[in-house]
């Protein structure tokens, strides 16, 4: 082999770059940490767990468009009747409807979002109701 020194440096860089996921995982010691969202103890969600896992963001997007752009505020079931929540018509609202059961943002939303480095821009405008109740200190 010619120019052995330089070629070996190149091979070393190649190995480091392409094994970097393994090196990060092994040195970080957090590879076995799993996302563990805490589900509400009682109550039934408006959609199935499988649907919600994949498509909740699309549902929220549809809700936003309906509420903000068409002034359609209340959530209907497939048969056309309104969805009721604690005796009143449920709004198409993340904070008022979803988070009335899933009331812990950190232990529910953030678990998977942080695990997968998802930064939804919901929270650019909305605020975690639990924090809103306590009052925000600036």
Contact residues: other proteins, CB under 8 A: 1-4, 7, 10-11, 14-15, 18-22, 24-26, 28, 30-35, 50, 53-55, 57-58, 60-61, 112, 115-117, 119, 121
Nearer to other proteins, 34 or 134 (CB): 34
Closest by Cα among 94, 90, 92, 91 to 122: 94
Nearer to other proteins, 61 or 103 (CB): 61
Please report how close the Cβ of residue 42 comes to other proteins at its closest, in angstroms.
24
Please report how close the Cβ of residue 58 comes to other proteins at its closest, in angstroms.
6
Nearer to other proteins, 60 or 85 (CB): 60
Q: How far apart are the first and last CA of the chain?
A: 65
What gap in Å lies between CA 57 and CA 70, rounded to an integer?
19
Please report how close the Cβ of residue 48 comes to other proteins at its closest, in angstroms.
13
Residue 93 CB contacts under 8 Å (≥ 6 apart), including other chains: 63, 67
Nearer to other proteins, 54 or 87 (CB): 54
Question: Which residues are bridge partners to 76 per DSSP?
Answer: 82
Token couple for 42: 């009682």
Q: Are 67 and 93 in contact (CB under 8 A)?
A: yes
Please report how close the Cβ of residue 69 comes to other proteins at its closest, in angstroms.
15
- Could you say which DSSP state residue 74 is in? B
């Amino acid at each position: 082999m010619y120019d052995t020194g330089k070629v070996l440096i190149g091979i070393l860089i190649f190995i480091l770059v392409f094994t970097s996921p393994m090196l990060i995982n092994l040195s970080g010691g957090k590879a076995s940490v799993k996302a563990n969202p805490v589900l509400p103890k009682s109550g039934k969600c408006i959609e199935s767990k499988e649907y919600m896992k994949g498509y909740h963001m699309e549902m929220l997007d549809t809700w936003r468009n309906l509420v903000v752009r068409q002034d359609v505020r209340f959530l209907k079931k497939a048969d056309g009747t309104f969805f009721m929540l604690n005796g009143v018509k449920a709004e198409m609202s993340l904070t008022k409807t979803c988070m009335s059961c899933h009331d812990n943002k950190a232990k529910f939303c953030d678990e998977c979002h942080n695990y997968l480095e998802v930064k939804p821009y919901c929270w650019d405008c909305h605020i975690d109701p639990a924090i809103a109740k306590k009052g925000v200190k600036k």
